[in-house]
């Protein structure tokens, strides 16, 4: 039971709501346009959750092996760092999770495209491979891109564009440029969560040689960057709503923007990076709430 609890802790369940936000947004836009398939929805959720857990395991392993997770770290203690899971066990967990996620992705592609759309199927298969590789290579290996300030780019691509636009395309099989706007919203908010995490850990990361964007920018510029991410996310969603307006229910998500504004106020006033830790949960859950309320508005 203790080992099971260790694996659950390593999976970092609090990160999962954020990971499915893009699937919810892309799916409900598809529903609003008359497309839906329960098999696609279920498999898309499973694949996304698998990728998030894989990323969490890989981050635990990569930062643990490199020594980035040490006594200077502000956030919750990791499984490898605490000795609850060994390196060999975590590596095995990464391999099993990657294989399981790839199988779910293959089933998802088949459910969406069958045998008729081989080009689209191949494109999404390559996206799936890329997503798995990105989840692992964030902190694992000598060329880990999370240590070179590139984490934000990959978060935007996979949590935003691929999650929202990709999930919409799985149902509709059509390109619709407007869907890029809510895709940008989820991508930018997800970048905000990562940047907040990196601002919290900036001092310890800098000591450990982990050059996140927050380390590269410094405290003041990292804060300014954070404001731009959140405000741009709000702007993109409002523009999409205006362009696709079908009724007052399309604005159902507006109350969920209030916590974002209050969050920005607290970040502006913050002088102690350790106090940013609770803001991670607030921003992640606010993103999830926006996705849910936006989705309900689309369906209504």
Residue 4 covered by a domain = no
- Residue 125 inside a domain? The answer is yes
Rounded CA-CA distance 150/192 in Å is 14
Q: Are 61 and 94 in contact (CB under 8 A)?
A: yes
Kindly state whether residue 63 falls inside one of the protein's structural domains. yes
Q: Please state, as a whole number, how many other Cβ atoms lie within 10 Å of the Cβ of residue 32.
A: 17
Instruction: Give the domain extent around 138.
Output: 22-299
Q: Which pair of structure tokens corresponds to residue 89? A: 């066990």
58 in a structural domain: yes
In a domain, 1, yes or no: no
Q: What is the pLDDT of residue 274?
A: 86
Nearest CA-CA partner of 19 in 238, 212, 261, 287: 287
Q: What is the pLDDT of residue 247?
A: 81
User: In angstroms, rounded to a whole number, what is the distance separating the alpha carbons of residues 108 and 206?
Assistant: 40
| DSSP result, 89-148 | HHHHHHHHHHHHHHHHHHHHHHHHHTTT-HHHHHHHHHHHHHHHHHHHHTTSSTT-GGGG
Whether 68 is in a domain gets the answer yes
Could you say which DSSP state residue 15 is in? Answer: G
Q: Which residue has the tokens 């709503």?
A: 241
- Is 8 a member of any domain? no
Domains held by the chain: number: 1
3-state secondary structure of 33: coil
Neighbours of 203 (CB within 10 A): 17
Question: What was the pLDDT predicted at 59?
Answer: 86
Short-list 81, 32, 63, CA closest to 205? 63
Task: Judge whether 274 lies within some domain.
Answer: yes
What string of pLDDT tens digits covers the 300 residues of the chain?
667 887 888 888 888 999 999 999 999 999 999 999 999 999 999 999 999 999 988 888 888 776 665 565 555 666 676 667 888 888 999 999 999 999 999 999 999 999 888 999 999 999 999 999 999 998 887 788 988 889 999 999 999 999 999 999 999 999 999 999 999 999 999 999 999 999 998 988 888 888 999 999 999 999 999 999 999 999 999 999 999 988 888 899 999 999 999 999 999 999 888 889 899 999 999 999 999 999 999 998
């Amino acid at each position: 039971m203790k080992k099971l609890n260790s694996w659950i802790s390593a999976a970092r369940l609090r990160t999962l709501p954020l990971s499915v936000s893009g699937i919810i947004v892309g799916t409900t836009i598809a529903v609003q346009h008359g497309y839906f398939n329960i098999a696609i929805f279920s498999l898309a959720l499973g694949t996304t959750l698998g990728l998030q857990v894989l990323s969490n395991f890989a981050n635990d392993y990569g930062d643990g092996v490199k020594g980035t997770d040490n006594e200077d770290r502000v956030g919750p203690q990791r499984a490898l760092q605490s000795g609850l899971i060994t390196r060999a066990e975590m590596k095995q967990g990464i391999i099993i999770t990657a294989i399981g996620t790839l199988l779910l992705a293959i089933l998802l592609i088949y459910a969406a495209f069958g045998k008729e759309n081989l080009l689209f199927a191949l494109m999404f298969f390559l996206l799936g491979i890329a997503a798995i590789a990105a989840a692992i290579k964030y902190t694992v290996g000598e060329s880990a891109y999370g240590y070179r300030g590139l984490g934000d780019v990959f978060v935007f691509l996979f949590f935003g564009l691929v999650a929202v636009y990709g999930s919409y395309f799985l149902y509709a099989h059509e390109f619709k440029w407007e869907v890029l706007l809510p895709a940008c919203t989820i991508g930018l908010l997800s970048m905000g969560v990562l940047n907040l995490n990196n601002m919290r850990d900036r001092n310890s990361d800098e000591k450990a040689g982990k050059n996140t964007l927050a380390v590269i920018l410094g405290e003041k510029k990292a804060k300014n960057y954070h404001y731009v991410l959140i405000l741009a996310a709000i702007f993109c969603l409002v523009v999409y709503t205006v362009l696709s307006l079908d009724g007052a229910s399309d604005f159902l998500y507006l109350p969920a923007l209030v916590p974002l504004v209050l969050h920005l106020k607290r970040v502006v006033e913050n002088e102690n990076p350790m106090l940013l830790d609770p803001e991670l949960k607030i921003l992640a859950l606010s993103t999830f709430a926006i996705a849910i309320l936006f989705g309900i508005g689309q369906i209504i």
